[in-house]
Each structure stands twice: as C-alpha cells, then as structure tokens.
Amino acid sequence: MKTLSVLGRGTLGVLGNGIRQSGPGHTARHSFLAKGRTSAVYLLRRGDCASLQFSTTCPRSARKFDSRKEFWWPLDLGEYLLSPEELAARRDPIGANNAKEAEEDDQGAPDRSSFAFAFDIDGVLLHQSDPLPGAIETLKFLHENKIPFILLTNGGGKHERDRVSELSEKLQVPLSMDNFVQSHTPFNDMQHLKRKNILVTGSDAAKAREIAWSYGFDKVIIPADILMADPSIWPFDPLLESVYASTARPLHKPIYKGNPYSETWDPKMLKKNLRIHGILVFNDPRDWALDLQIITDLLLSHQGVLGTYSNINGLNGVWQQDGQPEICFSNSDLLWASKHPMPRLGQGAFQAAVGGVFKAIKDQLGTKGPRQELSRASLVATRLGKPMIGTYKFAERVLMEHRARLLGPRQADSRPLKSVYMIGDNPDSDIAGAKNYTYHQKKTGKAGATWFGVLVETGVFKSLVKAPMRHKPAIIVKDVFRAVRWALVREKWQGPFPTWAGAEPELPRVRKRRTKQEAEEAENPIQNDRENVAKEELPEGDENVVERKLVDDVKKVVEEGEATKEGK
C-alpha cells in the first residue's frame, strides 16, 4: 500500500466525514460524522507531531494495535487541495449545484466552451431564401445556451453587414459580423493589394466594387469600366450594354494601344497606362464571356498592363512569371443547391473555365527554349472558400474570437476548444475541408480543435443518388436539427436538448463501436486527400489550376538550391 506522510506540529483539527476504529474489526461513528467510507486517512498521534497516512482502501485484516486510538477518516488527499467553496460543493452537492446553475445563467456552463459549430447556409439552413425545417429552432437553441457557432458559406456578392441583417430576419436569431464568414471575407486581409489597381468581378460587379471599397481597396476596376473605355476588347454586341453603361466609371489611366508584342518595354509605359496588380472574383460572374476575355488578356500581359503580351510567355515552359496580376477565386464550388431540382453550376465552374481556356491557349501558343519539358499546364491561382485550408484557418480564428466574446476571455482561455462540427450539404466542400484542415493541423504539429464533418441531406448531397463518396463524413443525418442533436450526444451534453415539433421524439443514438479499419477510414482522408493536402492543392484535384502558394514555394526551393550550388 502506497502512503504519503505529512508531519506537522500542533493540534490536529476535526477532519470531518469519518469513522473511528478502536481496534481490529470494531468501528463506531462519531456523533458529528456522516457517511463513512473505506477510503481513509490513517492518523497516528504521537506527542506534538502528527503523521497522516493516506491510503486508497482500509485494511481489512487483523493487525496489532497499541494503546493509542486509531481513526479512519473517509477523506481523500484531493480534499486537502480543495478551496472552501469546492469542499462545500462536494459535501453538499445539491445546494452547490443550485448555486452553480444560478451563476451559469450569466456565464454559461463549463462544457459549453469545449465544442462549437460551423454551419453552411444554402442547403443546410436555407433553401434559397426560405428556412429549412428545424433550422430556426436549432440556431435559437444554440444562441440561448451560449454554445458558440459561426456561419461559414461559400456564398457571397453582398457585404457581410447586409447579409447578416438579412439572415437574422429569416432565421429569427441575432447574428453579427463576428460569427459570419462568407467566401470573399478573407479578401479583407489582402493588405498587399489595398493600395494597388485591382480588377473585381461577380454576379453584380458594381456591388462587388462597393464591397471592395468597404474592405479598404482604393483603386477598384470592374469589366464594365474596361469595356466602355475600349469596346474593341470584346468585339461583339454586348447583351448587357445598358447595365455596363450605367455601372461603368472612367479609368484613371488609359488602356495601352501600341504594339502588344514588343521585345523591349519602356519603363515609362508602365506608369502611363492602366496596370492591374490583382484579380478578385467575389462570386459567380454573370457575363462569363467578357470576364474570360479580360482575365485571359491580363494573364498573358507584361507586368499586368492591359493590351500587352509578355515576350517571356512559354520561355522554358514557364508562364505567369512576368509580373502578371495574381488571380484569386473566393470559392471553388462546382455545384450549389437552388430552387431548381438539380444542383446548378457555381463559381467552381467559372474557375474551371478560366483554367481550361488558359491551358488551351498555352497549348496552342506552345513553348520556347531548351527546357520545354518543364512546361506547367496549370493556371497559377489563389483559391479561397471551402474546402481550402486557408479558409478553415481563417474561420477558426473568427470562431475563437467570437467564442471569447460570448463566453468571456477568462472562461474561453481556461477551457480550450476541442471540437468543431462542420455541418454542410456538400461532401466535396464542407466535409473535405473539415477533414483536410484537421489532417493539416496534425501533419504540421499545430495545436487546434478537431473538425468533424457532418453531412445533411437537405442540399447538394442526396443519399438516393448512388455515387462514390470521396470524402466520408463522421455521420450522415437528415437535417441540421438532427446534426446538432447528434453532436450534443457525442459531447455528452448535460443541458437541455433542442426541441422541434417536426422532429422525432427520441434522441439520436451514437453509432456502434467501429472496427479499427472503420475508424481509420472515418478519421483519415482518403489517399487522394493526403496527397493533395501535402501538395497544398485542391482536394478535387483540378488539373488545370494549381495553388499560387505551391508554385511560390517550389520557386523558392529552386532558388535556394541554385544559390547553394553557387556558394552564396
């Protein structure tokens, strides 16, 4: 039996809650004691020194005793380390629990801060503009119980302030910009482009310009500005001419009209003519043809000057290496749920179109130089939105800040966030992103919450459509209401559960214990996911588009290797 001795001078006070044992096999309760236990403190009294021996069980075998009395106290070592309030709570759990619940009305229950939710909107909370069954009740429950959540959507085209106001009214729950992330929200962090010329486009390019202004971008240009300044750039009858004319603004510099194929460029030309440093696609464009033409011209230009062609395009198989503007897509959703019974094309389709056209043009123009085998046939781009790791990293930062405001910094810091449940309707977006972000965190050794993908059947995903699922969720449920209830059961939630008149009365049951193989399949991304995450590429593996970060990293490694060879 392991013991711990504590020596001290003076008189030992009453320890409470114990049993006095006078000899082997004889026990008697003190009149002031209650609830004797076998877990004990062995107390020996010798003069003015006391030795307290703590053991886990009382010895039951007979043993020799001297004339001194022995006392067995059902008090474990942990109680000596408790504060008076905690000790009172242990001895009077009912009264302490009542006081604790009263305090938690203002501060939130302790287990509320260890998990959180992230919701997609279209196909999860809304079907077009109408709330889906159970969505209102679910969000009201989370809000009333101070359980942190954010809305994480690949939608866009409106300012966050306007979208939050609209959603608060439809979903009947207070929302704010603090817990809302849409596809182009991370554009706000692109400080390197805030003072430079950028081209923006989207479903309403004029609205996209206003959003960019609100983000702090000073010099914002839309396709209509360019078309009105030079109609020959798209020599067809514009179907939206009246729209373009009403939204176009004068360019602050002219479009270059000289020889586009010059072998040498005058540096003054860069300052005199319109130069674009970045292209931001806020959401699904409406006039693909015009946008495709202007974007392609810029990707082939010299230093982003519209109307020029870089003389090093295709040199040694290299493209986009002559100061062309970086292009950023706010999301890569190929399909999205709408009022139409079948999913509709999203911004991912426009992204694929840009990548496909750019590849076709490069294949036709060919490459030059001795190292043609290095030709890279993919468009170099920055992609945000789900399932990209950068967006989940941004979303987790927003969630942590919102959680600290909701729970208070002290409680948020004392109990780290362990689990985030990403509830979505698209396996290739919501589920893939959650799994790949968690895998990326583990691979890089960074501490963070584990993201679980929960798939609902109210949007893009249809369980009746028999198609291979590349990204397996933790569970598939009927709707968002059942998704949250499943997560609460998994978290061993002790508070009330959400209720809804249209829901089944019984609680969802946690899945049966899985085999080792099933657990590995559920927790780890499939092999394609691992490879793409390792390469920092899209999980869906679009062969026509690669990440700008990947290319920059490879270029840096090559430059460092060449410098090492030269002895620098």
Whole-model pTM: value is 0.70
Over residues 479-527, the pLDDT tens digits come to 999 999 999 999 999 888 988 776 665 444 444 555 665 555 544 443 4
Distance between CA atoms of 568 and 566, rounded to whole angstroms? 6
Architecture in CATH of 110-183+388-535? 3-Layer(aba) Sandwich (3.40)
Rounded Cα distance, 341 and 250, in Å: 42
Is the CATH number 3.40.50.1000 carried by domain 185-383? yes
The pLDDT, as a whole number, for residue 7 is 40
- Any idea where the domains of the chain sit in the sequence? 5-81, 110-183+388-535, 185-383
pLDDT digits (tens, 9 = 90+) for 334-360: 887 778 888 889 999 999 999 999 999
User: Taking residues 535-541, what's their average pLDDT?
Assistant: 43
pLDDT exceeds cutoff 60 at 267: yes
Share of the chain above pLDDT 70, in %: 66
**C-alpha–C-alpha distance, residues 215 and 221, integer Å:** 14
Please tell me if the domain spanning 110-183+388-535 has the same topology as the one spanning 185-383. yes
On the question of pLDDT at 81 being above 50, the answer is no
Residue 6 has pLDDT above 90, yes or no: no
pLDDT tens digits for 295-331? Answer: 999 999 999 999 999 999 988 888 999 999 999 999 9
Nearest to 148 by CA among 121, 103, 110, 179: 179
Taking a C-beta distance cutoff of 8 angstroms, is the pair 552, 382 a contact?
no
Mean pLDDT, rounded, for 251-277 = 93
Distance CA 447, CA 501 (A): 40
Q: Are strands 450-456 and 70-73 parallel, antiparallel or unpaired?
A: unpaired
Residue 463's pLDDT is 65
In whole angstroms, give the CA distance from residue 421 to residue 451. Answer: 6
* Residue-level pLDDT at 460: 86
Q: What is the pLDDT of residue 390?
A: 93
Contacts 24+ apart (CB under 8 A), 165-172: 167/121, 167/125, 170/126, 170/129, 170/130, 170/131, 171/125, 171/126, 171/131, 171/135, 171/136, 171/139, 172/136, 172/140
